[in-house]
């Protein structure tokens, strides 16, 4: 199953495939977006936030039915964690010039 998934990622250009030794590689620019939490291109937090919304699906449906809404604090913790991860690199870049230490 992994080989089929990797083949699909290679076909889409997300990873590269070396047919000589049968290995796959994640290009540096893609790794930067998925592995470096301090990179301004880091996107993992965005996807974690999306997962949080799916985990809140029943709460959101109920909020639409009863009209009471859904408070920010009532969301799944993935939304908060993902939002923090997504925006952290931007805050680091903005706050470093003024001497803020994190």
Q: Which residue has the higher pLDDT, 95 or 47?
A: 47
Q: Report which of 81, 74, 43, 69 is spatially closest to residue 56, judged by C-alpha positions.
A: 74
Q: How many CA atoms lie within 13 A of 36 on its CB side?
A: 12
Query: Which is more confident, 89 or 60?
Result: 60
Question: What kind and span of H or E run contains 50?
Answer: helix 44-55
State the Cα angle at 74 between 70 and 80, rounded to 5°: 115
Lowest mean pLDDT among 34-38, 71-75, 93-97: 93-97
For 14-69, what is each residue's pLDDT tens digit?
A: 999 999 999 999 999 899 899 888 888 889 999 999 999 999 999 999 999 999 99
pLDDT for 1 equals 85
Query: What is residue 89's predicted lDDT score, i.e. its pLDDT?
Result: 82
| Strand-pair partners of 95 | none
Q: What region does 66 belong to: left with phi over 0, alpha with psi -120 to 50, or beta? A: alpha
Is the predicted pLDDT of residue 84 greater than 60, yes or no? yes
């Amino acid at each position: 199953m992994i080989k089929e998934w990797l083949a699909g990622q290679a076909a889409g250009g997300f990873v590269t495939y070396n047919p000589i030794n049968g290995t796959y590689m994640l290009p540096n620019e893609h790794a930067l977006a998925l592995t470096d939490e301090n990179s301004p291109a880091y996107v993992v937090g965005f996807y974690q936030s999306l997962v949080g919304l799916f985990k809140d699906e029943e709460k959101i449906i109920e909020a639409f039915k009863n009209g009471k809404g859904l408070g920010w604090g009532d969301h799944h913790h993935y939304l908060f964690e993902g939002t923090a991860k997504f925006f952290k690199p931007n805050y680091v870049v903005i706050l470093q010039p003024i001497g803020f230490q994190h």
